[in-house]
Amino acid sequence: MPEGDTILRTARTLHRALAGHVVTRFESVYPRLTRVDRDTPLEGRIVERVEARGKHVLIWFGEGKAGGKAAPTLILRTHMRMHGSWHIYRPGERWQRPRHQMRIVIETDAIHAIAFGVPDAELAAADAIERSSTLGRMGPDVLADDFDATEAVRRIAARPEMSIADALLDQSAIAGIGNVYKSEALFAAGVHPLTAVHALTAERLADVVTIAMKMMRANVAEHPSRPIASRSTTGRMNPDARLWVYGRGGAPCRRCGTAIARAMHGAIPRVTYWCDRCQRVEGIDPALT
């Protein structure tokens, strides 16, 4: 599942391609979207902006008309899940994925934006989307300009029996973190991933949150010399040295040489990587091991 940094880069790309342009055609395989488009058409509306919220992409369409009357601003919310992606093409350009994987098409005179394999999509008035249970339950977005780290720590602490690894993936506690940054931030903080939240002080939780935030923000900062969509938590751009532990099960720890451990755990099993020597065990619940 794409993490918050990937979603933010996707939103930036879509914003640059679509913002300020008039929609000339909308298509979707989802009746729930085409029904809204039929009642309050997207055609003729201006794409106002595209933004990321945690792991969601929000596309804002300006006011339109329906039945001769003004229609409110609409938002298209999409979530990639495991296999979804947005592509942009010039009119007439060949798609890189087969048409049967298409879920949504947004066309302007200059750009066609295609959502492939996106399983979770919602189109509604802006105020309804903002109040929806999906966004309303979401915790502070680690990549948002107004990220509230104190609130994120409070929400994580309110899940005392969870492992810290699972709590970081709980989007209602803190939004945007996935398996990669979960493993990388916990390694950098020296916290064992199976440590129960209640075994960590508020200061330790704040350290983990701050490290995750800094790692993710470093990976969405735009630099002319930075490779597109590269991800590094070590500060290195060498493809073999970008990450501390993620994807390195059995390989030597970059700090101490201990073999990196790998395990699946959690109510919804997710892969986690860690170093048993560098990451301190703090009150592990034996039931989680």
Q: Which of 2, 48, 107, 231 is catalytic?
A: 2
Q: Which of 9, 159, 254, 270 is catalytic?
A: 270
Which whole-number Å values give the CA distances from 71 to 74, 122, 167, in the listed order?
9, 17, 40
- Lookup result for tokens 């329906």: 66
Note whether 244 and 274 are within 8 A (CB): no
Q: Which of 48, 51, 53, 55 is catalytic?
A: 55
Q: Is 2 one of the catalytic residues?
A: yes
Q: Which of 3, 51, 122, 184 is catalytic?
A: 3
Give buried/exposed letters for 30-69 (b at 16+ CB in 10 A, else e).
Answer: beebeebbeebbbeebbbbebbbbbbbbbbbbbebeeeee
**196: DSSP letter:** B
Q: Is 182 one of the catalytic residues?
A: no
Note whether 135 and 51 are within 8 A (CB): no
**176: DSSP letter:** S
Q: Is 55 one of the catalytic residues?
A: yes
Q: Is 214 one of the catalytic residues?
A: no
Catalytic residue annotation: 2-3, 55, 270
